[in-house]
Chains A and B, each alone.
Chain A
Amino acid sequence: MTESRGGTEGGAMRRIDALEAIYPALRDTLVVTIMGGVAAELYSLGHRPNFFYNEHAMGLASSIGLGLALCLPDEKIVVLDGDGSCLMNLGGLTTTSRYLPPNLAHIIFDNESLMSVGGFPTATSTGADLAGIARAAGYPSAVTVRTVDDFRDEATRAIDGTQLACIVAKVEARNPTSFYMDVHILENRFEFARAARARAGRPVEPAPPQQVGTAGETQTTRG
């Protein structure tokens, strides 16, 4: 790692400590995570029906967050992204910036590597600056933090705030102690949609029986 110019040297924070620091703020917030260690560590702190773990489709956690934010303007949406995933959808930063959803907090854990596939370094290890990219894409606020205290302050401000914000947290490149997650991806998907829709008072899945018939004479059917 002689080429590294990033910030993980000299006592970067552990991601689990950062997550633990903001867990009280996430408990009742709609959260979308990327796959791998971020999902497993958030799960280990206590699974909630308002947590969605995007266990594949790298890059799209932030796009899921944008769709949620636009359709649930009264709810805060928190995206827990990673450097590898974010780098796969840099265009998405420009899309999100076009609409500036005030209810979206975009947190990127940057361990400068693709940990879950063996720790190969990403471009942030040679200096690619995700907060700088987010600012240049149009995010009104994007900062890089390196300590748990700074992370707690900035993330809390973003979660409580009324402006699109991005926080890049430089974290140690280490896997979680366990990847154990006792929630099936479909179970997670349906419970999350239920939690999200309940907040907007929208119908849950599956759709209710279809109403058929003429005006004033409706009838419920199950095909």
Chain B
Amino acid sequence: MPVSVVNSALIYDALKAADVRLISALPETWLVHLIRMADDDPEVNLVRLAREEEAIGISAGAHFAGCKSALLMQNHGFLASVNGIVSLALLYKIPLLMLVSYRGDLGERDPWQTMGGLKTRPVLEALGIPYYLLDDPAAAAMRIKEAQTLAESALVPVALLMTRALMWED
């Protein structure tokens, strides 16, 4: 499977270095290595979801408890989470570190991914959620730490869009 193991490990190590100890996830192709790494790590609580919106509540609970968390989801999962983001995270000022696989963008071959790809950034912008592309392996670890820092200081969700360039090896 041409999902980048090297860059998945780089992202995972950055999450660990940022003291993330709870990771919620719903599997999708680009996330498989990240989820396996979390599953194999006794220091991390991996919460496998039925639907991504649950992760907004789980991370809110983790934040109240003083535990750093991260959310792994596809961009369609982000789109499925919008009410939780609005009515819990934004309303109650809950920081979220959202790592979103950015399907349906440049280079996407699956037609069914493309509408979500086209709508991801407009929806993030409509929600006022700061987002950054995670496309350069050299900058990824710093971006993850910076995103967490901003989320916690502004008490807002921050999204990192993991691109094909970072996650896929053709």
Instruction: Fill in one digit per residue for B66-93: 1 if any A CB lies within 8 Å of its CB, else 0.
Output: 1101000000000000011001100111
Could you say which of B31-39, B55-63, B102-110, B122-130 contacts chain A?
Answer: B55-63
Establish whether residues A61 and B57, one from each chain, have CB atoms under 8 Å apart when the complex forms.
Answer: yes
Partner of A60, one of B45, B54, B63, B67: B54
Known: A60-B84, A202-B65. A71 touches B22 (CB 8 A): yes
In the assembled complex, A67 has its CB within 8 A of some CB on chain B? yes
Q: Which of A67-81 contact B (CB under 8 A)?
A: 67-72
Q: Is the CB of A67 within 8 A of B88?
A: no
The reply to whether B22 and A70 form a contact with Cβ atoms under 8 Å apart is yes
Chain A residues closer than 8 Å to B152, beta-carbon distance: 207
A91 CB–B CB distance under 8 Å: yes
* A70 and B88 contacting across the interface, CB-CB below 8 Å: no
Residues of B within 8 A of A98 (CB): 47-48
Is the CB of B112 closer than 8 A to any CB of chain A?
no
Contact of B47 among A66, A186, A196, A202 (CB under 8 A): A66
- Which of A65, A70, A186, A197 counts the most chain B CB atoms within 10 A? A70
Is A99 close to B, CB under 8 A? yes
The yes or no answer to B115 lying at the interface (CB within 8 A) is: no
Q: How far is the CA of A197 from the CA of B60 in the complex (A)?
A: 13
* Contact of A63 with B57 at beta-carbon distance under 8 Å, contacts A54-B88, A71-B66, A185-B92 already known: yes
Q: Is A203 an interface residue (CB 8 A)?
A: yes
Does A94 sit within 8 A of B, measured CB to CB?
Answer: yes
| Interface range, B side | 20 to 34
Q: What A residues does B53 contact at CB under 8 A? A: 59-60, 89
Q: Which residues of the partner chain A approach B119 to less than 8 Å between Cβ atoms?
A: none
The 8 A CB mask of A33-62 against B (1 = contact, 0 = none) is 000000000000000000010111101111
CB closest residue in chain B, given A66? B58
Partner among A65, A67, A200 whose Cβ is within 8 Å of the Cβ of B22: A67
Q: Is A87 an interface residue (CB 8 A)?
A: no
B65 touches A197 (CB 8 A): yes
Whose C-beta in chain A lies nearest to the C-beta of B48?
A98
Query: Residue B138 at the A interface, CB < 8 A?
Result: no
Q: How far is the CA of A54 from the CA of B91 in the complex (A)?
A: 10
Smallest Cβ-Cβ distance to A65: which chain B residue? B61
For B21, list chain A residues within 8 Å (CB): 71
Distance in angstroms between the alpha carbons of A105 and B66 in the assembled complex: 21
Q: Complex formed: what's the CA distance from A32 to B61 in Å?
A: 9
- Residues in B neighbouring A189, C-beta threshold 8 A: 64, 92-94
Pairwise interchain contact B47-A200, C-beta atoms closer than 8 A: no
Sample of 6 A–B contacts (CB below 8 Å): A60-B54, A91-B49, A92-B50, A95-B47, A185-B91, A193-B63
Question: 5 shortest A-B CB distances, which residue pairs?
Answer: A67-B61, A63-B57, A91-B50, A202-B66, A60-B57
> 19 new A-B pairs (CB below 8 Å) besides A67-B57, A200-B66?
A56-B91, A57-B57, A57-B84, A60-B53, A61-B57, A66-B47, A67-B67, A70-B45, A89-B51, A91-B54, A95-B47, A95-B48, A185-B92, A189-B92, A193-B64, A202-B67, A203-B66, A204-B66, A207-B152
